[in-house]
Structure 1
């Protein structure tokens, strides 16, 4: 029995194997003289395809449920209760055979958002015309005279004579069938008109299916006209009549699966379009999970851009990043951004080493990687600790008296800016100014922006490029590291910004001719060094404050910091999407990918792939994984500064939690917008309860 909010119903259930489970339910509604067993021949194929299939009997069909209301409206309300009971991450696909088609139609018209799609098998436009009223009236009259036995000839035509077991099953069913149900349903059918226009208006995916010999109630032309008026797909099953689910179950299942595959793909496309809108995404992970289950390899047409393929599984995204057949988008920028030359920051970044291959990429990337080893890095852990202590001193002053403070502005931006300044050899005042600009400039590679966001990005780009070019080309003034730095840091005499200590000079050595490629390298170097650590701090602080038990564990045992940082990177990474271009024919999950296709690997989805780690939607700082998350990439474009970014977080989080054990969220965070490619938090309001 299946328990629903409107009572229990008798149901059959077929669950898919775990590896194939899409999480999408299917609910099957039988006909007037049918039962849930009408769908038994379909269930194995539906389950094998990954669907959770439920076939059920109407309440009162075979047993007394203390009501004589057997209207289509009443059974549609019961159907909606069944949809709620079977759950699922997505609304169920619903199938109705014969009378069940009218029940499904009524539910779809009443609450279309509760259905993923609707399929009508042997169920046509309406039955309120003279012809159908005569048929229904004659059936009702005969039923009143002869009882349920009048339906045996119908069953006998469907069940072969040598199938003794099924014939006996149906004899038993006819004995149990309540005449009140049948007669109530017949009366309800007589009032059903053609509502195809209303169905079309729901914008649901619809399928009209019938056997090619099904002619008793509607002609083939009437079925086809109904499908056209409703905006439905039409499927005609050869070798079948009114019950193709019984007569040709294999072909019927194939037709349903084709229909659902198209429906699921369109739903996935809508999900993806929502993800790339130029807005803030507070929680994109349910959408990622839906894409990974239903369409893990999703061909899309980016509006105004190229065709692309979206990948959401860990194995696919890892292959995308590691295989030399897929190159960075800077090798063909017009595919992803046709107007890439129109904006200075975008134009320069696409030419930078991080977005190129071969000689434009490898020498500078290799030189940077050598300078960013623990021994040679211009910024050592002691430097990071000192900057963190100074920033937290200022943070404490802002929190005094129970004030609500934006942790992003008070901690993440100054901390990441100052450490990045020391890494690149930039004066502190300039580093802080660049950090503020980089927040707006991070939109440079977003697929879509509003005009206001684009203008802010362009202005920020000019600030970033002009400032870095000046610093790298003209040398640095004297004690510049003291400019704009909190007094507590100046007093400690931290290593400042001596030009030879920074990395801007390294870029100039590799790009002696200057130009836009050189400017792009400078902008990319600052942006990558600043943005991921800053976002990692805000995203990680939010997770730790939302999970106080995890925060307490890290506070009590700072040795957990390494694993805590890895879990933050896995659970909510700053870099959400990696873009590559295919250079040769290939395929992912059976989907062909021609050369010149853009591929978008959603790293945030890959890191939560159940095939990568168990219980992926749980935040657990003690988690161990056999392979690292893809948050900093992998392969030849693996981020050379990943170790430093981890050091930022590994130092800051234990210090923050130990110094402010009463720190609490004071409101919902405001996430970066647009935030499709790069994720971060612009406003993370916090309060220190112990200070109140």
Structure 2
């Protein structure tokens, strides 16, 4: 048994998670599309369409109110009455399928004001302009030693962790451990909605604790800067890797797209923007009503839990012509709602976009013959964070 393990706590949490997964499975079998989303699918977009057919919001038997409607999503994300935690700042009340965890550090307005001074210098335009050179250096270093096989393990994850680690001042000697911890925390956002297996939950806890220790002060005191660095590590590293993976997968799916990007690498920013619309790395936001709120004509009491499927808004035909086509020539369309999820995304979104743009540009310039060699593999029970676990390609190891 691992040192410090608590068999009673493990038994109680394991039973709770198992019961939640069993209930979720039953509700999915009975036809609730949101329950099926929580179980995970290689292609969740047909399930999003089924939710959309149920109206602007609908009350899932899981206990959550669910919406794919862009107007509802935008309204909730802009309204401070919808929070990441309960009205008093405590964890949200458990739903029939409880989400595990206590919200996102720095998510609320008061915490955001305290942390802003610590994250803004890292992601302001001048800092990111300088950081792009670091990202490019890491991309080229990885391409010098990578072989054909899996784009995620060979390129997307190493670049995301090395570049973010460099920005946050992770010592070179600790970068391997840092990458392991970031990967270990990958399922954190999913665990907030979908009950995970007990070993994975403990892995997430250990990874977040490891990141917290990595950025800890020498005297053991709490540091707001440490919270920012843990947030950026746990959120920005997986999101960067997933965004690169989703973009490459979409670009390789139709003949000629990758060649177009290779001929004109300046399209990398358009490719990232289109991926955020078409298949974003963050697909869902969850909020809790701090007070009674009327939403889409329905009065919801304080404590109501609403799930916003922001990825579905990118496939809304009223917002985006030909929503199911990945196009690099979109103009004058609404910004994707991915990464529009409130204060906790403010430090994450610009960093992820910048890193993904450089990673795509560099890859397209250096590997114009990149091509798919197999079917992507996705994690189960991952309703929030979307990206391939494996993306088999050829042409990655060419010089």
TM superposition score category, shorter chain reference: 0.7 to 0.9
Query: Is 1:510 paired with 2:270?
Result: no
Which TM-score applies when normalising by structure 2? 0.83
1:288 corresponds to 2:48: yes
- d(CA) in 2 for partners of 1:285, 1:625: 24
After superposition, the Cα gap between the structure-2 partners of 1:684 and 1:428, relative to the gap in structure 1 and judged at 3 Å, is farther
Q: Higher relative CO (CA 8 A, sep ≥ 6), structure 1 or 2?
A: 2
Q: Provide the secondary structure at the position in 2 that maps to 1:335.
A: coil
User: Which runs of structure 2 are paired with 1:73-152 in the superposition (5 Å)?
Assistant: none
Which residue among 145, 155, 164 is the counterpart of 1:420?
A: 164
Question: Is 2:399 the counterpart of 1:655?
Answer: no
Q: 1:329–1:579: 8 Å Cα contact kept in structure 2?
A: no
Shift of 1:574: 0.8
Q: Secondary structure at the match of 2:35?
A: helix
Equivalent residue, structure 2, for 1:434: 178
Structure 2: where are the runs of 5+ without partners? 1-27
Higher strand share: 1
Q: Which residue of 2 aligns with 1:83?
A: none
Distance 1:473 1:690 in 2: 40
TM superposition shift of 1:287: 1.2
Name the SS for the 1:564 alignment partner.
helix
Alignment-derived partner of residue 309 in structure 1: 65
- Report the Cα offset of residue 611 of structure 1: 2.1
User: How much has 1:508 moved relative to structure 2?
Assistant: 5.3
Offset, 1:634: 4.9
Larger radius of gyration: 1
Map Cα deviations across residues 439-463 of structure 1 (whole Å, 9 max, x no partner): 3423234323343xx3133134324
Kindly state the Cα deviation for residue 338 of structure 1 after the two structures are TM-superposed. Answer: 9.3
Q: 1:338 to 1:419 in 2, by over 3 A?
A: farther
Describe the superposition over 1:480-536 as per-residue Cα deviations: whole angstroms up to 9, x where unpaired.
xxxxxxxxxxxxxxxxxxxxxxxxx9x95437xxxxxx6x65532311221110111
Please point out which of 582, 605, 615 is paired with 2:322: 615
Equivalent of 1:371, from 122, 125, 130? 122
Q: Specify which of 300, 303, 312 is matched with residue 605 of structure 1.
A: 312
Q: TM-score, length-normalised on structure 1?
A: 0.49
Which residue does 1:388 correspond to in 2?
Answer: 139
Alignment partner, residue 335 of structure 1:
93
Return the match for 1:276 from 30, 38, 41: 38
Question: Is structure 2 residue 217 aligned with structure 1 residue 466?
Answer: no
Q: Which residue of 1 aligns with 2:12?
A: none
User: Which consecutive unaligned segments of at least 5 residues does structure 1 have?
Assistant: 1-265, 400-404, 476-504, 512-517
Q: Secondary structure at the match of 2:346?
A: coil
Identify the match of residue 526 of structure 1 among 233, 238, 255. 233
1:564 aligns with 2:271: yes
Specify the SS of the correspondent of 1:380: helix
- Give the Cα separation in 2 of the matches to 1:464 and 1:299: 33
Distance 2:229 2:361 in 1: 32
Deviation at 1:603, TM superposition (A): 0.7
Tell me the residue number matched to 1:361: 112
2:262 to 540, 543, 555: 555
Deviation at 1:690, TM superposition (A): 10
Is contact 1:563-1:624 (8 Å) kept? no
Matched residue, 1:75: none
Tell me whether 1:448 sits opposite 2:194 in the alignment: yes
Distance 1:379 1:458 in 2: 37
Distance 1:456 1:437, change over 3 A: farther
Aligned to 1:42: none
- 8 Å CA contact 2:276–2:336 kept in 1: the answer is yes
